[in-house]
């Protein structure tokens, strides 16, 4: 069955430090992958998506993600974190009728 795993429930980083959020998926065919961010009290906003082609995907707010088929991973990265990046991040795989989400990673940023 299709599934998405985000191994890290909670991550804390200092402002200006680099960030990597992990995402592993289970899917039989070429996956359609998404990263969403949920800021406190807000809905989900799409950061980036991977459909095909270049395995390094650029998104909004300085985020990027790399699709690695051999590792079944789609990790999200940012070279320098800002305090405003504190939020919950969800990885998802797209099916024909829905998105399947991971359980989320809460990011805390210290000044």
Partner 1 sequence: EAQVTQNPRYLITVTGKKLTVTCSQNMNHEYMSWYRQDPGLGLRQIYYSMNVEVTDKGDVPEGYKVSRKEKRNFPLILESPSPNQTSLYFCASSLSPDSRKNIQYFGAGTRLSVL
Q: For partner 1, give the closer residue by CB, 81 or 92.
A: 92
Contacting residue, 12, 45, 55, 58, with partner 1 by CB under 8 A: 45
Element (H, E) at 70: none
Beta strand 73-78 with 19-21 is antiparallel
Q: Does 43 bind partner 1 (CB under 8 A)?
A: yes
CB of 104 to partner 1, least distance (A): 6
Comparing C-alpha atoms, which of 7, 6, 107, 87 is closest to residue 41?
87
Note the maximum CA span of the chain: 42
Contacting residue, 14, 28, 41, 70, with partner 1 by CB under 8 A: 41
For partner 1, the binding residues in 49-108 under the rule CB under 8 A are: 49, 51, 90, 94-99, 101-104
Q: Which residues contact 39 (CB under 8 A, 6 or more apart)?
A: 45, 86, 87
Residues forming contacts to partner 1 in the complex (CB under 8 A) are 4, 9, 32, 34, 36, 41-46, 49, 51, 90, 94-99, 101-104
């Amino acid at each position: 069955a299709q599934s998405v795993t985000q191994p890290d429930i909670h991550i804390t980083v200092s402002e200006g430090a680099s960030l990597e959020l992990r995402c592993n998926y289970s899917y039989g065919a070429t996956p359609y992958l998404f990263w969403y961010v949920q800021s406190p009290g807000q809905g989900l906003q799409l950061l980036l998506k991977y459909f095909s082609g270049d395995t390094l995907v650029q998104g909004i707010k300085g985020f990027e993600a790399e699709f690695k088929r051999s590792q079944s991973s789609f990790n999200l990265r940012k070279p320098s974190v800002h305090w405003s990046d504190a939020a919950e991040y969800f990885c998802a795989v797209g099916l024909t009728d829905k998105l399947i989400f991971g359980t989320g990673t809460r990011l805390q940023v210290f000044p």
